[in-house]
Amino acid sequence: MAKAKKDNLTEAQQKAAAFLTRTKPNLDAWRTAREAADAKAEAEAIAKIKVGDVMPDGTIYAGISPLTKEPMFTLPAQESLMMTFNEASKRASTLDAHGHKDWRIPTKEELGRMFGSRVAIGGFNLSGANPEGMYLSSSESDFDVMRCVDFKTGGLGNVPKGSYPARYPIPVRFVRSGPVSAL
């Protein structure tokens, strides 16, 4: 069957197939070397910055995301918004800020990482009684209940997805992940 298929190929197609068979290992080696060089450049770029640094695009470096294992960036404090989970989800899907459109609500683990560096990152509202100091996460506690992180204590809380902020808005600090070299 393979011979019959080969016989149906034109001479040019046979030459192209032979060329690709010979060069594919070289292309794979080149790609591997290129990926290694890119990874090294990214590691060097990450080593030069520290949590809390303002990036050239105006975002703030917030450390390595426990979710994506990539550098994580957040919006400056004045761009924190107060809203429900449903509103925040909708806002994240349309947010175009600092030249990026891949913003999302952070997970509770990402907020935990940000809590550990809250002084360096800055701009977290810690005043007053709850819900001040509480930041919304994308992690669910139960159906229709989201986890939030208290930036005064680092503790976890719960907030309904729906109408809760009508009386007590919950701050959202959107994040995105990606290479430092893309800034």
What is the tens place of the pLDDT at every residue in 59-77? 999 999 999 999 999 999 8
- pTM (two decimals): 0.73
Q: Structural domain boundaries of the chain? A: 2-47, 60-182
Average pLDDT, the chain: 81
Identify the CA nearest to 92 among candidates 102, 78, 82, 83.
102
Average pLDDT over residues 37-63: 84
- Report how far Cα 59 is from the mean position of its chain's Cα atoms: 12
Residue 94 dihedral angles phi and psi, to the nearest 5°: -115, -5
Fold of 60-182: Mannose-Binding Protein A; Chain A (3.10.100)
